[in-house]
Amino acid sequence: MTDIPGRAAPAPVTYPPVTRLTVLYDDRCPLCVHLRHWLRKQRQLVPLDLVPAGSQEARHRFPGLDHAGTLEEITVVGDRGQVYRGTSAWIVCLWALAEHRPRAHWLTTPLGRPFARATVLAAAKYRSVTAEPCRSADGRCPLPDPVAGSPG
């Protein structure tokens, strides 16, 4: 688009910043529970709420979301209604973490994106091979006790 003399250029489109993210994870999957615990221990630049996928809390917070789909693929919801799934969800989780934000930026590049996708596919394969129902009465995997001093 060319500028027209005497007219101001159109303002660039800006979006409000993300200030909080909700990670929906499968609490019946040992790998997912492990990653939830790992995320809790990281220094977060953007706070992460970790909510079991398909739970009453998830359904209450996000009534219009495909909750069956959230049990099949990691889903992250931003506080402005953004929905990230699969590879994009993993990248946005890393972007929220102080130690991993530079890696998240790299994973969005043409060189990094295939690596991110391969990692997500490998995790999905591992999950499909190793995930067994937990042996608790309610079928959920017990969450590890919070580490003393870690954000909860």
- β-bridge mates for residue 142, sequence order: none
The pLDDT value recorded for residue 103 is 95
pLDDT > 90 fraction of the chain, expressed in percent and rounded: 53
Mean local confidence (pLDDT), 7-26: 84
pLDDT-based confidence at 111, cuts 50/70/90? very high
Q: Residue 93: phi, psi to the nearest 5?
A: -60, -45
Q: Please report the domains of the chain, with CATH numbers, ordered by start residue.
A: 21-130 (3.40.30)
Q: What is the pTM of this model?
A: 0.76
Mean local confidence (pLDDT), 103-120: 92
The pLDDT value recorded for residue 92 is 96
Task: Report how far residue 92's alpha carbon sits from residue 101's, in angstroms, rounded to the nearest whole number.
Answer: 9
